[in-house]
């Protein structure tokens, strides 16, 4: 009688148990206690799977806590895009581009850049600085 081994996301029962044990150590102490109090166990297929999913949920929450403000906005945008059609996303991006250009134009009119800056990258310029530096070091 050949018994087919069960797998969850490509992991055997024993591999999942090891993974759960290692991942649980990455959790904050209060979250580890919460798992124990709420009956999450690392024995039995159903318990091992539910523990695996709950640990993953905690770790994902930790990752969101570590994101910068920009990364949080990008994540929110990614989530929001899941609920929009391609046409809605395209329309929004076109409107956003128009608004951004209008804001840039407004900034340019209010703060014109009238000063012209010249940067000389010629060898003569660099050699003069080196000579000055060498003279100062000998004094």
DSSP 26-68: TS-HHHHHHHHHTT--SSSHHHHHHHHHHHHHHHHHHHHHT--
Q: According to the model, what pLDDT value does residue 112 have?
A: 80
Q: According to the model, what pLDDT value does residue 3 have?
A: 65
Separation CA 1–CA 31 (nearest Å): 43
Contact status, residue 58 vs residue 31, Cβ threshold 8 Å: yes
Residue 134 pLDDT class (50, 70, 90 cuts)? low
Q: Is the pLDDT of residue 118 over 90?
A: no
User: Quick one: average pLDDT of 82-98?
Assistant: 91
- Whole-structure pTM over 0.85, yes or no? no
72 or 96: whose pLDDT is higher? Answer: 96
């Amino acid at each position: 009688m050949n018994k087919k081994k069960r797998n969850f996301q490509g992991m055997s029962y024993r591999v999942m148990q090891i993974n759960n044990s290692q991942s649980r150590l990455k959790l904050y102490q209060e979250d580890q206690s919460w798992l124990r109090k709420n009956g999450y166990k690392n024995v039995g297929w159903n318990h091992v799977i539910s523990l695996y999913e709950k640990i993953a949920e905690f770790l994902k929450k930790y990752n969101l806590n570590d994101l910068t403000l920009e990364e949080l906005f990008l994540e929110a945008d990614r989530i929001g895009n899941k609920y929009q059609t391609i046409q809605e996303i395209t329309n929004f991006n076109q409107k956003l581009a128009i608004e951004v250009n209008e804001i840039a134009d407004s900034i340019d009119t209010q703060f014109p850049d009238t000063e012209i800056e010249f940067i000389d990258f010629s060898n003569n310029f660099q050699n003069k600085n080196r000579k000055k530096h060498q003279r100062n070091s000998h004094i």
